Amino acid sequence: MLFDTLQHSPSLLISLVFVIGILVGSFLNLVIYRLPIMMQSEWRYECETFLQLAVTHQSTHFNLALPASHCPHCKTSIKAYDNIPLLSFCLLAGKCRHCQSPISIRYPLIELFTGLCSAVIAWRFGFSMTLLFALLLTWSLIAQSFIDIDHQLLADSISLPMTWLGLLLSVFSLFTNSHDSIIGAIAGYLSLWTVYQLFKFATGKQGMGYGDFKLLAMLGAWLGWQYLPLIIFLSSVVGAVIGVGMVLSKHHKLNQTIPFGPYLAAAGWLALIWGAELNQIYLNLIAI
């Protein structure tokens, strides 16, 4: 049977999950592009309805399924054979078949990145139920990261269901137990909320968004409260280094907002993979 083969052949499992990850990465490209537009459209509709204004736009024909994928330049629908992850981009030399406009290399890079991250998850957890849910967490973190990079938004429609799923999984002690998961969700939210309130009180400015609180609460629900200090430390250090580097390279203005979600997501993913080892290193550092 296939399951028996995958269980006893790690290389085959990793290869299969890598291919699945590439396919999921293609879907994540769709989510990353369309979900923020759907969110903004919904907010506009709610505001106009609440203020009793004429509703200017509330399309039911724009979602994750509609309209069909098309070239943003010539608007020609993309055929299935031109929409094969990674392969179609290479065969078309990175250009639209019809108008020859360039296709952003970001699409295949996200597909490849998702495949590689998925393969690492398969290597780490092997053939198990944990693998399935670890992949789901990984894919959600990738989607949230790129949405935050593009729009400085973190989607509640991803964070909140994933938080509840993390709490549910803790009942079965899949990643952590319920006690640590519940405390992790609460502490994850309150820790960044407290920092936000103190920063706002001291400077009168908003240092981060509420989406960051919910993302850390999600990670706390999945991994437990013990990993929250490590996640905050890693994300802060990496964020500070990259932020300073961007300012020094003049790719970023000093007063320009930097999305924090990708750093939280990356730190959370590292904690998922090597949490125990990294936590021990972190505890040894603060004990010095």
Report the C-alpha gap between 271 and 228 in whole angstroms: 9
Cβ–Cβ < 8 Å for 14, 104 = no
3-state SS record for the chain:
CHHHHHHHCHHHHHHHHHHHHHHHHHHHHHHHHHHHHHHHHHHHHHHHHHCCCCCCCCCCCCCCCCCCCECCCCCCECCHHHCCCCHHHHHCCCECCCCCCECCCHHHHHHHHHHHHHHHHHHHHCCCHHHHHHHHHHHHHHHHHHHHHHHCCCCHHHHHHHHHHHHHHHCCCCCCCHHHHHHHHHHHHHHHHHHHHHHHHHHCCCCCCHHHHHHHHHHHHHHCHHHHHHHHHHHHHHHHHHHHHHHHCCCCCCCCCCCCHHHHHHHHHHHHHHHHHHHHHHHHHHHC
For residue range 175-208, list pLDDT tens digits in order: 999 999 999 999 999 999 998 898 888 887 777 7
| Predicted pLDDT of residue 252 | 59
Model pTM? 0.91
- pLDDT: which is higher, 101 or 1: 101
For residue range 245-271, list pLDDT tens digits in order: 666 666 656 566 778 999 999 999 999
Structure tokens at 21: 């990850």
For residue range 11-33, list pLDDT tens digits in order: 999 999 999 999 999 999 999 99
